[in-house]
Amino acid sequence: MSIPTAPPSGFRDFLPQACAARSKAIETISRVYRSFGFSPISTSAVEDLAVLTGKGGGENEKLIFKILKRGDKLEAAKAAGELADLGLRFDLTLPLARFYTKHGSQLPHPFKAFQIGPVWRAERAQKGRYREFIQCDADILGSESPLCEVEVIQAILTAFEALGVTELTVHLNDRRLLYALLDKAGVPEDKRGTACLLLDKLDKADPGEIWAEMAAQLGADPAQRLKSSLSPDSAGLKEAAPDIFATLEGIRGDLSELIGTSAKVQISPSLVRGFDYYTGPVFEFRHPKLSGSLGGGGRYDRLTEKFGGQSVPACGASIGFERLMLLLEESGALAAAGPFACVTVFSEELRDHALEAAARLRAAGFDADVYPGTGKLKAQFKYADMRGAKVALVIGPDEAAAGNVKVKDLMTGQESLETLDTLVARHIER
Ligand code: AMP
């Protein structure tokens, strides 16, 4: 049987251009998160299954990539019991809650953290939905203030803006507001879960079908009352849970002032978010060119308790990096540049000159790539072209003797003879 050379479904390889674009976007997001006072943290990719299960991860718990026990323990487990003891993290929030419970005493209080890294979910793969994908999370632990929601959302919107992504809508809600609306509509408590699951599908499936299913599950009247109470301008919205509505309005108002017209913020009472660990406001970032969400988050005040720690108020959000990259690829905003120079190697005898020229360029702050080997200059120029370099340098016997380099501008094809110093000075001036 031949060995597959494509990665498994839902996993991807990235060519150098794509890697460069991804690194650039990650640098931008990190810079923005830092500018808001979030400190970088890093948690392990693999967690004990006890960390990942039973902590409010919702449907994602069913999508955990589990890791088999190893060696004798696996043999013993085959006879009886659970074969796996570890799993790949499916989000960055549960690992953060574990991390904070373990290390909180060494951290500032409140603590503002950011983490950018891969997570894994055994989903059915499709465009924009992968089994391995990067999330970029920013969280504030240790504060109940709605200022946290404002800061986290503003940080994420600022990161999007820095990457040239506009036209975003932030949808805000609070499960407690939704539950109050369900109560008012006459939906019994034991049907809340069903109603929420259906509401969560409203923007992913045909709304007509969802409401028909809602009527079948809840009864025609409660379903109809629920539908009319969910409109953002329904009067019943404010009355259903006045305090919660006021908090959401406060967050919305602060954000609208801070971000001006660069994004829209609206209260969307049907927003559910799949995680059960949320205890307060939840939010989602949507873009007209994407069917799913571009990011989301919320308040999860009791999560650290589940790790045996104290109850610590917390709020955070995640940028779905892969969907962001889909948007950026479409707009061509992140075309990656190659190195400044490719230095050709004229011959074995002259390779020291090539190495030295590259070292001097690097010391002056320019990326320089030495052709790895010797060979026909034509092949070396082709390599320089494929690398997207600005210039190719040749140091043959005449140039070496005179202390010059031959510079080929790879955009125009023009050649010039000059010293490295003048080449550097010419490009620094630009
Ligand atoms: P969640 O952790 O489910 O709230 O997701 C946060 C963000 O991650 C979403 O808004 C998506 O942009 C992104 N995301 C979630 N699942 C996937 C996936 N399977 N593939 C790519 N991105 C995803």
pLDDT in tens, 4-21: 999 999 999 999 889 999
What mean pLDDT is reported for the chain?
Answer: 93
Token pair, residue 179, equals 């539950």
Token pair listed for 324: 């962001």
The Cα 327–Cα 321 span in angstroms is 10
> Using CA positions, which residue lies closest to atom 13 of ligand 1?
320
* Residue-level pLDDT at 28: 97
Cα of 308 vs centre of ligand 1, distance in Å, is 28
Q: How far is the CA of 383 from the centre of ligand 1 (A)?
A: 38
Per-residue confidence at 232, pLDDT binned at 50, 70, 90?
Answer: low
Distance between CA atoms of 61 and 165, rounded to whole angstroms? 31
Checking if the pLDDT of 24 tops 80, the result is yes
290-303: average pLDDT: 93
Point out the least confidently predicted range of 39-43, 83-87, 144-148, 262-266.
Answer: 262-266
Mean pLDDT of 271-280: 89
For the chain, how far is it from start to end, CA to CA, in angstroms?
Answer: 56
The protein residue whose alpha carbon is closest to atom 1 in ligand 1 is 296
pLDDT at 309: 84
Q: What sign results for the dihedral spanned by CA atoms 179, 185, 191, 197? A: negative
CA dist list (Å): 150 to 92, 155, 300, 352, 368: 20, 8, 15, 57, 44
Distance 295 CA to ligand 1 centre (A): 7
pLDDT at residue 397 greater than cutoff 70: yes
CA nearest to 316, candidates 266, 274, 282: 282
Q: What is the pLDDT of residues 370-391, one digit of tens each?
A: 999 989 999 999 999 999 999 9
Asked whether the predicted pLDDT for residue 82 surpasses 90, the reply is: no
Decide if pLDDT at 139 tops 80: yes
Give the pLDDT band (50/70/90) at residue 59: confident
Residue located nearest, by CA, to atom 6 of ligand 1: 295
pLDDT, mean of residues 298-318: 94
Of ligand 1's listed atoms, the one at least distance from the Cα of 295 is: 10
pLDDT classification of 430: cutoffs 50, 70, 90:
low
Separation of CA 320 and ligand 1 centre (Å):
5
CA-CA distance, 199 to 88, in Å (whole number)?
29
Q: Return the axis-axis angle of helices 351-363 and 420-429, rounded to nearest 10°.
A: 30
Q: Which of 9, 133, 272, 326 to mutate to test the pocket of ligand 1 (most atoms within 8 A of CB)?
A: 133
Atom index in ligand 1 nearest the CA of residue 121 equals: 19
Ligand 1 pocket, Cβ-based, cut-off 6 angstroms: 91, 121, 123, 129-130, 133, 135, 292-296, 318, 320, 322-323
> What local confidence, expressed as pLDDT, does residue 239 receive?
86
pLDDT, average across residues 288-306: 93
- Among protein residues, the one with the nearest Cα to ligand 1's atom 17 is 129
Residue 102, pLDDT score? 96
Question: Ligand 1: which atom is nearest the Cα of residue 125?
Answer: 19
- Rounded to 10 deg, the angle between the 192-200 and 175-184 helix axes is 120
Tell which one of 293, 294, 315 to mutate to probe ligand 1, the residue whose CB is within 8 A of the most ligand atoms: 293
- What average pLDDT does this structure show over 56-60? 88
Q: Which residue, by CA, sits nearest to atom 12 of ligand 1?
A: 320
Going by pLDDT thresholds of 50, 70 and 90, the confidence category of residue 274 is confident
Which atom of ligand 1 approaches the CA of 293 most closely?
A: 10
**Nearest protein Cα to ligand 1, atom 18:** 129
Average pLDDT over residues 403-425: 95
What is the mean pLDDT of the segment spanning 90-104?
A: 97
Mean pLDDT, residues 149-172: 96
Residue 203 has pLDDT above 90, yes or no: no
Q: How far does the centroid of ligand 1 lie from the alpha carbon of residue 368, in Å?
A: 38
Q: Taking the CB of residue 361, how many other CB atoms lie within 10 A of it? A: 25
What share of the chain has pLDDT > 70, as a percent? 99
Mean pLDDT across 232-255? 88
Nearest-CA residue for atom 15 of ligand 1: 320
pLDDT confidence bin for 334, thresholds 50/70/90:
confident
> In a mutational test of the pocket of ligand 1, which residue from 318, 319, 327, 328 has the highest number of ligand atoms less than 8 Å from its CB?
318
**Could you tell me the distance, in angstroms and rounded to a whole number, from the CA of residue 128 to the centre of ligand 1?**
9
- Distance between Cα 103 and ligand 1 center (Å): 27
Residue nearest to atom 4 of ligand 1 (CA): 296
Best probe residue, ligand 1, of 60, 135, 200 (max atoms within 8 Å of C-beta)? 135
Q: Evaluate whether 7 touches 97 at the Cβ level (below 8 Å).
A: no
pLDDT at 428: 84
- In this prediction, residue 423 has a pLDDT band, given cuts at 50, 70 and 90, of very high
Residue nearest to atom 16 of ligand 1 (CA): 129
